[in-house]
Amino acid sequence: MTRDEFEERRNDFNDRAQERLARQEIENNEYKANLKEGKVSGLDKFIHGVNYILTGLIKNAENTLNNM
């Protein structure tokens, strides 16, 4: 893989990561609102936890790629 190909793939990943993080922020706000209203089930809590972990992994991968 050439440096140009790497840069292109990194930029593509960063774009997709930023889109996902923005969507996750919206979902977090909806989750918090539903939690205050008592509309959150056990499954919703589980899904929110999994998404929280995935968001952390995405941020970590983004930082790793940007430091290369």
Please write the tens of the pLDDT for every residue from 25-46.
999 999 999 999 999 999 999 9
CA distances from 66 to 32, 47, 58, 59 (A): 31, 28, 12, 11
Q: Total structural domains in the chain?
A: 1
In whole angstroms, give the CA distance from residue 6 to residue 52: 28
- pTM value is 0.78
Mean pLDDT for the stretch of residues 12-31: 96
Q: Which domain holds residue 23?
A: 3-66
pLDDT at 4 over 90: yes
The CA–CA distances, whole Å, from 25 to 3, 10, 18, 51 equal 32, 22, 11, 11
Neighbour count for residue 34 (Cβ, 10 Å): 14
The whole-number average pLDDT for the span 46-63 is 95
Residue with tokens 């919206």: 26
